[in-house]
């Protein structure tokens, strides 16, 4: 494959790449993997708490996506499709193994999964502590909707597609998840530091935040 083909693939949308991958262009699927593997790994790591297991689930996510390319509908956003696969795998894994404490090796390795370490290094310890607490005190569904809303900046409609719930149910999960996490933070005297550094500018979660569609 020549350089012009690679440059062309890097400029087209995720959905176009998926359609071309359906037509047999494996390089287009490889481009999708490159675009999304880091953020998916971060999501899975924070959900599971073990980097090694998150890497295995990441591989499983892309294997399933590849095997089910024929079922992909170009009306779907690729990010929604991939996170749906990943969240289902994570939920299944969690039910089988339950949560386990993060090791120091896991936490130090997590730094390599950040999209832009220079922007996040100052808040990395606070972020790690918050999501580790969220994983312990929230239900799997509450955790997933909070993460997708405030880290991945998914809309309520997108989250509903990922978790297979109505938009109203997602809003309820967001409300209950924020309240549960806020109550635990207040009980430990750290409610004032409830802040999730955004994955994108303008995206944040703080105590008392209100949810919109």
Domain boundaries, the chain: 13-98+108-113, 115-206
C-alpha–C-alpha distance, residues 115 and 162, integer Å: 22
- For the chain, give the percent of residues with pLDDT over 70: 69
Class of domain 13-98+108-113: mainly alpha
User: Would you state the structure tokens that stand for residue 72, as one six-digit string?
Assistant: 């992909």
Q: What is the pLDDT of residue 55?
A: 96
The residue behind tokens 């993060």 is 102
C-alpha–C-alpha distance, residues 165 and 173, integer Å: 10
pLDDT in tens, 44-92: 999 988 899 999 999 999 999 999 999 999 888 999 999 999 999 999 9
pLDDT in tens, 122-161: 456 677 678 888 988 999 999 999 999 999 999 999 999 9
CATH 1.10.10.10 fits domain 115-206: yes
CA 60 to chain centre: 15
């Amino acid at each position: 494959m020549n350089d012009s083909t690679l440059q062309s693939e890097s400029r087209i949308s995720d959905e176009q790449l998926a359609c071309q991958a359906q037509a047999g262009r494996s390089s287009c699927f490889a481009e999708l993997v490159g675009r999304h593997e880091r953020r998916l790994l971060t999501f899975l790591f924070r959900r599971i708490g073990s980097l090694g297991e998150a890497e295995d689930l990441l591989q499983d996510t892309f294997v399933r996506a590849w095997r089910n390319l024929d079922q992909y509908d170009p009306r779907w956003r690729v990010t929604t499709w991939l996170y749906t696969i990943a969240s289902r795998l994570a939920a299944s894994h969690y039910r089988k193994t339950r949560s386990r404490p993060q090791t120091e090796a896991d936490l130090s390795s997590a730094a390599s999964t950040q999209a832009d370490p220079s922007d996040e290094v100052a808040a990395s310890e606070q972020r790690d502590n918050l999501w580790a607490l969220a994983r312990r005190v929230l239900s799997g569904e509450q955790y997933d909707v909070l993460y997708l809303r405030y880290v991945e900046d998914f809309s309520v409609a997108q989250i509903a597609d990922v978790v297979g719930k109505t938009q109203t149910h997602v809003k309820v999960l967001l409300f209950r998840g924020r309240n549960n996490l806020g109550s635990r933070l207040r009980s430990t005297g750290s409610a004032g530091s409830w802040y999730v550094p955004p994955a994108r500018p303008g995206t944040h979660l703080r105590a008392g935040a209100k949810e919109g569609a």
